[in-house]
Every structure is written in structure tokens, then in C-alpha cells.
A = this chain, B = another copy of it.
Amino acid sequence: MRAVFQQELSEVQSRLVELASGAEKIMKKASGAFLNSDVSLADEALALADKNEEKALDLDELVIKILATQSPVARDLRILVSALRMSASLERMGSLASHIAAIARYRYPGTAIPDGLRSTFEDMAKIDIELAGKAVALLEHTDVDLAREIQARDEAVDLLHRRVFDVVLSSDWSENAMFTVDVTLASRYFERFADHVVDISSKVSFLQTGEW
């Protein structure tokens, strides 16, 4: 029974890794679409986000099945409850990235990014992709140091998010309302994406150390 349970837990883990890797791919495509006004990348991101959502639902069903058949307690139970929450975060990350892709699609063949904010968004996209990659590694190896790095990189995203508002609310800003709306929402999506990686890393740290 214990051997079966270990096998099931490792299946849950590998599905979480797959979901995180999906979220990373979606963000790569979505930010490529957003930065380069590439509508086919945007479509690929949207399609992948749908697939990730299905996979998250499948994972939830697997976890419920394991809860029902194994009646885990203590740390095993917490691992499974955390898996449900991480699955929700990973699904949401795909969805947030797909919103960024949708903005690119909407503005095509134009761009959603005014020149003054291009490098800010390039940095945000780069760090978000890096963070999703760290989530993959964390779920594979549950390395607590990685959790600390994630925290620090999330703070970098928060700073970039604030920079977007500083630029938009400065007296130099002369772009039209469409740009203002697009960069406001896109920046919010990038920031929330990073937040979810922090949530995931907190859960992994908790399972490793017992401390939030």
C-alpha cells in the first residue's frame, strides 16, 4: 500500500512539474507575442493555456482519487492539499499569460507597447519566464534555496510594475488611453504571474521546513 502511495505521490509531482513547464511555455509565447506583435505566437499561447487548464483539472481529479483511496494523514495529506493549491496557481499562471497574449492579438498589427516602456516590459517578461523555470526546478527538486531566489526575483517584478505606473503617471506621458489601458493591464498580469510563483515556493518551503 505504501509503495503504491509513493508511486501516486510521484505521479502528482511529475504532473505539477508538467503544469509548471506548461506555464513557462505559455509565458514564453505570450510575452513573445506581446513584445513582437506576433499573432501566431499569441494563438499558440491561448491554445496552450486551454490545455494547461484541462491538465490542472485532471491533476485535481487524481489528487481526489488518492485522498479517497489512501486516506493520507500528516505530511502526506498536506502534500496533497498543497498540490491542489499549486495546481490552481499553475492554471492561473497560464491564464494570466494568455491575457497578455490576448492584448497582443487585440492590437495586432499594431503594438501594445509604447517605446518608453519597451525595456521595462522586456525585463518583466524575462524575469517572469525565469521565475516559471524556477518553479519547474523547485517542483522537481524541492530546493529551499531556490525558494529564496524566487522571493528576490518577485521583488524585481514588483519594482518593474511600479516603474510602469511611474512612467504612465509622469508628466512626460503623452500616449493615448489605449496604450495606458494596455500597459496597465499587462503589467498587472505580469506581476500576478510572479506572485503565483511565490505562492508555490511558499508551499514547497512549508512542506520542507514546516515553516511559512
Contacts and interface: CB of A to CB of B under 8 A. Distances in A.
A135 B122 CA distance: 41
Nearest to A80: B67
The A interface is mostly helix, strand or loop, or mixed, namely helix
A177 B169 contact: yes
A117 interface: no
Contact of A81 (B67, B73, B178): B67
A177 B173 contact: yes
Contacts of A85: 84, 88
Contact of A184 (B64, B88, B185): B185
Contacts of A67: 67, 77, 81
Contact of A180 (B64, B84, B177): B177
Nearest to A76: B68
B178 A181 contact: no
A209 interface: no
Contact of A71 (B71, B84, B165, B188): B71
A207 interface: no
A196 to B, nearest CB: 12
Interface of A: 60, 64, 67-68, 71, 73-74, 77-78, 81, 84-85, 88, 165, 168-169, 173, 175, 177-178, 180-181, 184-185, 188
27 contacts: A60-B81, A64-B77, A64-B78, A64-B81, A67-B67, A67-B77, A68-B74, A68-B77, A71-B71, A81-B84, A84-B84, A84-B85, A85-B88, A88-B88, A165-B181, A168-B177, A169-B177, A169-B181, A173-B177, A175-B177, A177-B177, A177-B180, A180-B180, A180-B181, A181-B184, A184-B185, A188-B188
